[in-house]
Structures are given as structure tokens and as C-alpha cells.
Amino acid sequence: MQRADVVVVGGGIAGISAALPLAERGVKVLLLETRKKLGGRATSFADVRSGALLDNCQHVVLGCCTNYMDLLTRLGVADRIGWTREQYWFERGGRMSVVKSSGVGGHLPAPLHYSMSLLGVSFLNWADLAVLSLGVAKVLEVDRTQWTAKTFGDFLREAGQTDKLVRRFWEPVVISACNVSCDRVAASSALHVFQEGFLCHVHAADIGVSRVPLVELYDRAEDVITAAGGRIQFGASVDEIDDQSVTLGDGTVIHAGRVISAVPAERLAVMAGEALAARDHRISAASKITHSPILGVHMVFDRPVMSTPHAVLVETGTQWLFRKDDAGRSVHAVISGADEWMELGEAEIGRRVAADVREYLPGAEDGQLVSCRPVKEKRATFAPTPEVERARACVTTLRPGGEGDGLVLAGDWTNTGWPATMEGATRSGYSAAAAVLGVPADSILKPDLPIAALTRLAGLRVPRDAA
């Protein structure tokens, strides 16, 4: 039998984010992780074919992700994120439009900071832009908490947005951020993306991508936690979880003053014993969380095919491309909401994505695919549909009415106020640590980016206390 002050189950971003501030404050933390590495879904693996260290999928951090960047700062790896302020949108035939913020140095404050570059895009005409501006005005003034029961498609139709605008502008942003389409995602979640990620601040949509394999961002967590008196146990398969104990697969029982579950919703529903499930309605809510898949495709071409850091492909199956080397031969493709791709074989996936690369990227027409490594994640994220958002609303860090007792929950799928993001996972972990310490969550959570004065005057209503 083992003992610990606090046991954290799950070594993903939520688990690390819970364990780190506790260890820093002198709590004897034991972090349990089934695998031999940290990072959860946002990690890397050694490809047996090439020997290369590949990320499960391309993960992106935005300028509005203040807590995730705080976590990387605590780990001493914030400088491993490379930032761009431009978005490169490509049409068939290779025509490119650059969407970028003209804030601060460009003199236009939020929410006008993208207006100049949008006026110059080629994939929308002036009539489209006039209708789009009306839609953006609606996004600014709406209270997103009143739109949890309807889809973003419903919102866009009420806002008078055309099918063309949905296909060419709204959908590419929403499906990449929320991993479900406009007609499936809860309007509140999609509105969060645009209000917090684009309109509130000139740097909110800055795009950050790790310069190193994702697993290397979290390697230092073990050193930091153990240096503070905590401990990480890898290869620890958990069979059952309760308020103050965890049972491992080998029968070992670990007793603790508090237990934090930082595992995916479906794992919690399996690990929770019958007695716990009977007295904690959050377990039932967790069982109602459904998922959406992501397909990541690692490709190497025989010649340079990509010159920009990333590319948004307008109206095709492959949504985003990321350049993974200086030469532009190594490319990572991302297909979100990839239900229709899950049954395809490797050859067909490679054929389709390579065809999109050749059709959309200028100078890539003759590029031949040398290697292709698809990575299918069938449960990549929770699906933030209206039904799932109703279930999430029940999943608080502490059991309501429990007066501070009971199992503490973390994970991006809990009621963080954010979509399925690394920021949401970090916020959940920080909030769980605060609950264990008995302090306000805001004492650990970092402030959001401030809302620009003109954005406030334009009517932006942001429920910042939801996090």
C-alpha cells in the first residue's frame, strides 16, 4: 500500500498542469501515467519506419492561450514556440491570400485589425465582404452563453451569412478550432473562438507552433515536479479510482488525501467504481461526452513543395498544411472532423492529400510523394455539440454541494468555458490544483488578454468568469 498527499491520474497537459502548481507549493504529489512519456494526446512517437520522432498531430497555440503559455514558461520551454501573425489561405491553382493583423504597428486596433487584409483576399468578393462584416458585427454583440442549445450553423443563418461564406471563411476556422462542422458545433463554442481568438485583442490569433517534437515540451515536467518534492510513476495502469484512493492494474492501492482525475471522459467513466458513480452525477455526465476524429498525415516529397509556414486550403478535404523543414519538402497535413477519412487506407490517404498539395501550392505540381505516414486519432477531441455542452455543464472541478470533498476533475472536456484545446486542458489543471489547495482558481489561473477598448465599445460581451 502506498500513500501520497495528492494523486493525479493522467500525465497529459491537464495532469501536468494540476501537479506542477501543487508541487511548487510543497504538496507531495504523485502523478500516475500509463505510458512512458508525458503529454497525453499532445505528444510524439518514434516512427518505426523512419526512426523519426513524429507528433501525433499538429497542435497549435494561439496568442489568447495565456495559461498554456504560462505552463510552458514554468517548464522553461516557452522559447520553443515559433510565432507568426499571418494566415496563408490558398485556392485551387495556387492563388494565395494573406490574412494578418494590422494592429499595434499597423495602427488599427481590435476589432478592426484584420479588416485591411480581408479587403485584399481573392477568395471573397466585395459583396461577400459586406455580408461578412454584418456577420462579424453579430458575433461581437451576441451573448454566447445564450447559444449553447443551437448550432453555429443556426447562428450564421440568422446572421444572414451565405453558403459561400460558410464554406470559404467560417467553416475552415470552426472545424480546425472545434473539430466539428458549423452545423454540428454548439454556437457558444464557435462564438468563443471568434470572440476570444480573433476580436478581443490584436494578438489573440497569433499562431504558435512548436519548433521541437511535442514530447520535448513536457520532458522537463518530471524534473520540475520531482525537484519540488513530487513524483511521477510511469507505466502505472489505473483500474479504479475513488475519492481518496487509486487501484492499479497490479492490485496496488494508493491512498491519498485528495485524488485528481485528469484522464479523458471515457476513461473516467470506466475507472469510476459503482459506489462513486452512484454518489457523483458527474460520472454519468462524463459518459455522455462524444468525440470527433482528427487525421494527421506526415509527408515527405522529392523536392520543395511548400514555402509558407502553414497553409489554409479553401474548399477541399485537406484543411491545413504545415511546413516541417526549412526546405519545404516535409509537410504535415491536418484533417479535422475526419469521420469520412477513418476507414481509408494509407495509400488512398496519401493520394488524396498529395493531390491537394499539388493542386493548391504554387510550384508543387511536379512534387512526388516519397513517404507518407497517416496518424488516425478517432477520439482526438470531445465533440462540442449542443448535447455535449449540456453534459459538460455538469462536470465541475468539485462535486456541487460536496463542500469541497470528493474526487477532483480535470481535463479539457470538463466545464472550462473553452473548446477542446491545450488552453482548456491547462485551465482545468490549474483549477483542480486551486480546488485541492482551497484557494480561488484565479489565484493560479492567468488573466485573459485584455479586451481592447474599441472592441468593448463595439459591444463584445465576454463571460470571462466562465473559466
Label the pairing between strands 238-241 and 245-248.
Answer: antiparallel
pLDDT tens-digit map of 303-352: 999 999 999 999 999 999 999 999 999 999 999 999 999 999 999 999 99
256 and 321 part of one domain: no
Question: Is the residue at 48 inside a domain?
Answer: no
Q: 106 and 161 share a domain?
A: yes
* Alpha carbons 90 and 52: distance in angstroms, whole number: 29
**With bands split at pLDDT 50, 70 and 90, how would you rate the model's confidence at 100?**
very high
Contact status, residue 84 vs residue 323, Cβ threshold 8 Å = no
The residues with which 376 forms a beta bridge, in sequence order, are 295
Same domain, 228 and 265: yes
What cell was used for 308?
509558407
Helix 13-24 vs helix 422-437: angle between axes, to the nearest 10 degrees? 40
Q: What is the CATH number of the domain that holds 364?
A: 3.90.660.10
Based on the domain organization, do 282 and 401 belong to the same domain?
yes
How many Cβ atoms sit within 10 Å of the Cβ of residue 214? 25
Nearest CA among 310, 404, 436 for reference residue 58:
310
Same domain, 375 and 295: yes
Question: What is the Cα–Cα distance from 109 to 114, expressed in whole angstroms?
Answer: 9
Report percent pLDDT > 70 for the chain.
Answer: 97
Q: Return the beta strands (E) in 287-368 as ranges.
A: 291-301, 310-313, 320-323, 330-336
What is the count of structural domains for the chain? 3
Rg (CA), the chain: 22
Residue 90 lies in a domain: no
Residue ending a domain, choose from 336, 359, 382:
382
pLDDT at residue 228, as a whole number: 85
Stated pTM of the model: 0.96
Average pLDDT over residues 75-88: 96
CB atoms within 10 A of CB 126: 7
Which helix (H) or strand (E) covers residue 20, if one does? helix 13-24
The rounded distance, in Å, linking the Cα atoms of 113 and 100 is: 8
**Residue 193: enclosing H or E segment and its boundaries?**
helix 187-194
Check whether residue 391 and residue 377 sit in a common domain: no
3-class DSSP state of 209: strand
Q: Does 69 fall in a domain?
A: no
What average pLDDT does this structure show over 11-19? 97
- Amino acid in the structure at residue 302: D
| Average pLDDT for 22-47 | 93
Task: Express each pLDDT in 354-364 by its tens digit.
Answer: 999 999 999 99
Taking CA atoms, 98 is separated from 30, 95, 135, in Å, by 47, 10, 21
The answer to whether residue 129 sits within a structural domain is yes
Q: Are residues 193 and 302 in the same domain?
A: no
Average pLDDT over residues 290-311: 98
Distance between CA 285 and CA 432 in Å, rounded?
Answer: 18
* Other CB atoms within 10 A of residue 312 CB: 20
Write down the pLDDT at residue 197: 94
Whole-angstrom Cα distance, residue 311 to residue 313? 6
For residue 318, the one-letter residue type is: T
Q: Which residue has the higher pLDDT, 106 or 216?
A: 216
Classify residue 446 by its DSSP letter.
Answer: P
Q: Cβ of 394: how many Cβ atoms within 10 Å?
A: 15
Q: How far apart are the first and last CA of the chain?
A: 37
Residue 185 maps to a domain: yes
Residues 391 and 331 in one domain: no
CA 411 to centroid of chain Cα atoms: 11
Which of 49-53, 67-71, 97-101, 294-298 has the least mean pLDDT? 49-53
Last residue of a domain, one of 157, 175, 205: 205
Provide the pLDDT for residue 461: 78
* pLDDT of 465 strictly over 70: no
What does the alpha-carbon distance between residue 217 and residue 54 come to, in Å, rounded to a whole number?
Answer: 13
The cell for 269 is 467513466
Q: From 293, 319, 325, select the one nearest 307 (Cα to Cα).
A: 325
Distance CA 46, CA 75 (A): 23
396-421 pLDDT, tens digit per residue, is: 999 876 545 789 999 999 999 999 99
User: Domain boundary at 355, 382, 409, which?
Assistant: 382
Range(s) of the domain holding residue 295: 291-382
Give me 203's grid cell: 494578438
pLDDT at 103: 58
Q: Does residue 160 sit in the same domain as residue 228? A: no
- pLDDT bin (cut points 50, 70, 90) of residue 466 is very low
Residue 114 lies in a domain: yes
Min mean pLDDT across 53-57, 204-208, 319-323 is at 53-57
- Domain assignment present for residue 368? The answer is yes
Separation CA 9–CA 418 (nearest Å)? 22
CA dihedral 218, 220, 223, 227 (to 10 degrees): -100
Give a yes or no: residue 54 inside a domain: no
Q: Do 371 and 406 share a domain, yes or no?
A: no
Residues 106, 177, single domain; the answer is yes
- Do 275 and 297 belong to one domain? no
Cis before residue 362, ω within 30 degrees of 0? no
Residues 218 and 67: beta-carbon distance below 8 Å = no
* pLDDT (average), residues 55-84: 96
Q: Average pLDDT over the chain, rounded to whole? A: 94
Q: Tell me, what CATH number does 284's domain have? A: 3.50.50.60
What integer pLDDT is reported at residue 229 of this predicted model?
Answer: 85
pLDDT at res. 464: 64
